[in-house]
């Protein structure tokens, strides 16, 4: 089963891949990305390896002003945390989604959470219906 994680950030605060790898590697695992192409520009695979093992994590993104962004805002009223989601969307302008299966989902969650924290944005674990806004 695929696990999906969302990162809400301001595009001008998006951390570099080397910053993400450095921050995550401080926890005792060696995170590496194939290059420093920004996360939202990576196509379908983020090019992640942890402790030298390649991890299959796909990525997609949506920016404010797009029809998908408008649909997200409109659907917020159907969520228990809708007010928080609208606050997050008001204070950010990009949502990056990481998706992975099995063990790779652990690393996708860590990359998502770490990126959101570094950018002072928000992290959402779709499976657990958990939305954390680091920007207050």
Residue 13 has a CB neighbour count (10 Å cut-off) of 14
pLDDT digit string, tens, across residues 41-78: 998 899 999 999 999 999 999 999 999 999 999 999 99
pLDDT digit string, tens, across residues 107-121: 999 999 999 999 999
Contacts for 34 with CB less than 8 Å, ≥ 6 apart: 47
Q: Give whole-number Cα distances, 70 to 30, 64, 77, 86, in Å.
A: 38, 8, 12, 11
């Amino acid at each position: 089963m695929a696990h999906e994680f969302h990162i809400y950030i301001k595009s001008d605060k998006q951390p570099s891949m080397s910053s993400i790898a450095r921050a995550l590697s401080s926890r005792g695992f060696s995170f590496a990305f194939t290059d420093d192409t920004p996360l939202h520009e990576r196509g379908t695979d983020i090019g992640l390896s942890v402790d030298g093992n390649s991890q299959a994590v796909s990525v997609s993104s949506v920016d404010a002003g797009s029809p998908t962004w408008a649909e997200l805002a409109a659907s917020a009223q159907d969520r228990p945390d809708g007010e928080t989601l609208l606050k997050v969307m008001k204070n950010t302008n990009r949502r990056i989604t990481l998706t992975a299966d099995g063990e790779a989902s652990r690393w996708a969650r860590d990359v998502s959470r770490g990126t959101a924290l570094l950018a002072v944005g928000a992290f959402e674990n779709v499976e657990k219906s958990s939305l954390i806004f680091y920007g207050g």
